[in-house]
């Protein structure tokens, strides 16, 4: 189960792998895959052959070694002749984003983290999403509002919606996520959600067409987010938001990762060691080390940016629903003021201005 029904517990606490579970097979940091556990099935990769039967009953997070072949090998979970190994991880929204099937372009972790935070999601919220796609963001939204909240997601493409529904069933998220087929740009959101949504997320080619409908779905002070890859889309969306939204902000998230390695430099010393030893003594030590080739190697940590990194993914535009005032009610209240009250207020302000401002 990817999302815990009890907020005080972790979804993988004391859980062991069972038949039918989905596990994330971790080969290396850039090589992972989601696998459904089936008795008698076999996974074969660059590290060897792995039998699903050896996984059943093992705890999530365990390290399993490959067998010598698909039909034989060492003891259960033991190290066979292949020598390779993998880790069996429980699926989380973060891992699912890295292993899911790409039916469309998806949002990655940097964008997702800002969306979930800026939408101010807490357990029990109702979130409307248009543009289900591959379900990357939807899964993280579900965790944010679990266990009693709901995510209603819409996609105009029948097959994409069906595939996303299968993924959510596979990850036991159907109690939180509802998938429907609907053209939000043309039809808007269903009226049943009017004034009930805590947040709305739009991932549409023409988001400005859906913004008026999104405004009617939100509660007072609710937050809207629109994801667009092009700045021209952002401009038109912002123009549509100005009529009933405030605090409009656009962000671009660029993630930069670093490689951290533990290594050493021959003959290097720390600053403390260098300051404590006289210069003549340092020279004698270096000469002795050079003669005996017994060079001291100090452990150090070296950091450098990764050579490859994702660039521009898209722009995230957030806006908060402005508190609407019924102008007709305001006018009626203004006209209902009695004439003697209006005269009293007029004289009061005249006296105030004369006394304090010498008008």
Could you list the residues known to form a binding site, using ranges.
134-137, 155, 172, 203
Q: How many CA atoms lie within 13 A of 306 on its CB side?
A: 11
Helix, strand or coil for residue 103?
coil
Helix/strand number for the chain, H first, E second: 11, 15
Taking the C-alpha atoms of residue 20 and residue 17, their distance in angstroms, rounded to an integer, is: 9
302 class by beta-carbon count within 10 Å (0-12 exposed, 13-18 middle, 19+ buried): exposed
Retrieve residue 234's tokens.
């952002």
Cβ neighbours for 45, distance < 8 A, ≥ 6 positions apart:
25, 27, 86
- Evaluate whether 215 touches 319 at the Cβ level (below 8 Å): no
Residue with tokens 């248009």: 130
Beta carbons within 8 Å of 212's beta carbon, 6+ residues apart: 188, 240, 243, 244
Q: Which residue has the tokens 């259960």?
A: 76
Euclidean distance between the first and the last CA atom of the chain, given in angstroms as a whole number: 73
Measure the CA–CA gap between 170 and 2, rounded to whole angstroms. 10
Q: Which region holds residue 275: left if phi is over 0, alpha if psi is between -120 and 50, else beta?
A: alpha
Contact 87, 106 (CB under 8 A): no
Q: What are phi and psi of 275, to 5 degrees?
A: -75, -25
CA distance to 67, 130, 201, 336, 346, per residue, from 332 (Å): 82, 39, 37, 6, 20
Residues paired with residue 42 on neighbouring β-strands, in sequence order = 51
Annotated binding-site residues for S-adenosyl-L-methionine read 134-137, 155, 172, 203
The residue assigned the tokens 């999530």 is 60
């Amino acid at each position: 189960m990817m999302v815990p029904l009890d907020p005080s517990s972790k979804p993988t606490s004391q859980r062991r792998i069972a038949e039918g579970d989905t596990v994330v097979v971790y080969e290396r940091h850039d090589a992972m895959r989601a696998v459904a556990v089936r008795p008698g099935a076999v996974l074969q990769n660059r590290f060897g052959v792995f039998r699903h039967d050896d996984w059943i009953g093992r705890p999530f997070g365990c390290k399993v070694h490959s067998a010598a072949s698909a039909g034989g090998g060492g003891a259960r979970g033991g190290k066979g002749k292949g020598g390779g190994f993998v880790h069996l991880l429980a699926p989380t929204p973060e891992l699912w984003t890295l292993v899911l099937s790409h039916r469309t372009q998806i949002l990655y972790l940097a964008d997702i983290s800002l969306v979930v935070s800026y939408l101010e999601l807490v357990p029990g919220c109702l979130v409307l999403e248009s543009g289900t796609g591959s379900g990357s963001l939807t899964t993280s939204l579900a965790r944010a509002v679990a266990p009693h909240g709901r995510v209603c997601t819409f996609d105009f493409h029948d097959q994409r919606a069906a595939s996303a529904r299968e993924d959510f069933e596979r990850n036991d998220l159907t109690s939180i996520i509802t998938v429907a087929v609907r053209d939000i740009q043309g039809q808007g959101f269903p009226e049943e959600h009017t004034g009930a949504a805590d947040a709305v997320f739009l991932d549409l080619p023409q988001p400005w067409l859906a913004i008026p409908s999104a405004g009617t779905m939100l509660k007072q002070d609710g937050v809207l987010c629109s994801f667009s890859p092009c700045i021209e889309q952002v401009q038109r969306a912002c123009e549509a938001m100005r009529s009933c939204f405030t605090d409009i902000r656009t962000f671009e998230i660029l993630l930069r990762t670093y490689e951290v390695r533990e290594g050493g430099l021959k003959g290097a010393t720390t600053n403390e060691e260098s300051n404590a030893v006289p210069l003549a003594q340092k020279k004698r030590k270096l000469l002795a080390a050079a003669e005996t080739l017994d060079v001291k190697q100090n452990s150090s940590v070296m950091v450098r940016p990764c050579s490859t990194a994702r660039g521009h993914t898209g722009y995230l535009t957030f806006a908060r629903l402005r508190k609407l005032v019924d102008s007709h009610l305001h006018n009626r209240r203004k006209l209902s003021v009695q004439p003697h009250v209006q005269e009293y207020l007029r004289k009061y302000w005249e006296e105030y201005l004369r006394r304090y401002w010498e008008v």
